[in-house]
Amino acid sequence: MSKLADAIRRSQRVESAPMGFGARSAERRPTMLVGYFGPEGDVAKAREAGADFVLVDARNGSVDAAKLRGAAGDLPLGAWTTAQDSAAAKALREGGLDFLIVAEDSPAASMLDDDLGYVLALPSQPEEIFLRSLEPLQLEALLLHNIPSPLTIAGELELSRAGSLSRRPMLCETAATASADDLQCLRAAGVAGVMIDVAGLAQLKETVKSLPQRKARRDEQRAVVSLPRGQAAAAEDDDDDDE
């Protein structure tokens, strides 16, 4: 599991209500990740601004993974660049990269490094059969673009469809002006993290902090009643006696 996957898992964990007087003062954990997405030159600034993860946009070139790792510190670090084969992917990982963005036209051999995390950039309108076919791939998340704002019910359903069919959390770009309502709708649709440039990062983090905590799904809240095995066996014996 990469650092990104671990961070996503922690952010999606539903916290129980605090107990005791001292627990109330504990700071709530943000329920969405806020990542930096942009050129490599702003990585150090993004870390200082409090980014939860870093994604360098290098679609038009290559990256120096070791240099990026030095700027990103211990943050989950990814790049949107092309690795032509497994050797190139391994070199990026050994240089310090935590995850790699891949797309439909990326070389399949770039996904052969089992120790590197992979995030798939989705096409604008993915079909159901495409989303279902992602199951065998070792993907830690999906990357979405052009999220409409404000989000309509139809748009939220489309996002939920992508997440549920693929069974993957999602990352998406958003604006610094995104409201708490906008982010809460994205979170409900399955978006685990939002990304932005360094200029809007601090503002977006404050908005994410204001979101209410996640609630357990209704099916998780239903009480389950079970009997100890001894009592269950005794009940079965009584039934046999009655017969």
CATH number of the domain at 137, please.
3.20.20.70
Q: Does 243 score more than 80 pLDDT?
A: no
pTM for this prediction: 0.81
Q: Does 223 score more than 50 pLDDT?
A: no
Share of the chain above pLDDT 70, in %: 82
Least confident of 53-62, 68-77, 89-98, 227-236: 227-236
Q: Does 229 score more than 90 pLDDT?
A: no
Is 49 among the domain residues? yes
Share of the chain above pLDDT 90, in %: 62
As a whole number of angstroms, the distance between CA 82 and CA 63 comes to: 10
As a whole number of angstroms, the distance between CA 191 and CA 53 comes to: 15
Q: Does 235 score more than 70 pLDDT?
A: no
**Given this model, what pLDDT does residue 1 score?**
73
Greater pLDDT, 27 or 71: 71
pLDDT tens-digit series, residues 138-165? 999 999 877 777 788 988 888 899 988 9
**Given this model, what pLDDT does residue 126 score?**
86
Is 102 among the domain residues? yes
**Given this model, what pLDDT does residue 224 score?**
42
Is 98 among the domain residues? yes
**Given this model, what pLDDT does residue 172 score?**
94
Least confident of 135-149, 172-186, 192-206: 135-149
Is 202 among the domain residues? yes
Strand residues in the chain grouped as ranges (E): 33-38, 53-57, 77-80, 99-102, 117-121, 141-144, 170-173, 191-196
Is 220 among the domain residues? no
Burial class (CB in 10 A: 0-12, 13-18, 19+), 174: buried
Mean pLDDT of the chain: 85
**Given this model, what pLDDT does residue 213 score?**
85
Amino acid occupying residue 110: S
Is 222 among the domain residues? no
As a whole number of angstroms, the distance between CA 135 and CA 93 comes to: 23
Q: How many domains does the chain have?
A: 1
Mean pLDDT of 50-62: 94
Task: Give me the domain span that covers residue 115.
Answer: 3-13+26-215
Is 195 among the domain residues? yes
**Given this model, what pLDDT does residue 227 score?**
47
Q: Does 219 score more than 80 pLDDT?
A: no
Q: Does 91 score more than 50 pLDDT?
A: yes
Is 84 among the domain residues? yes
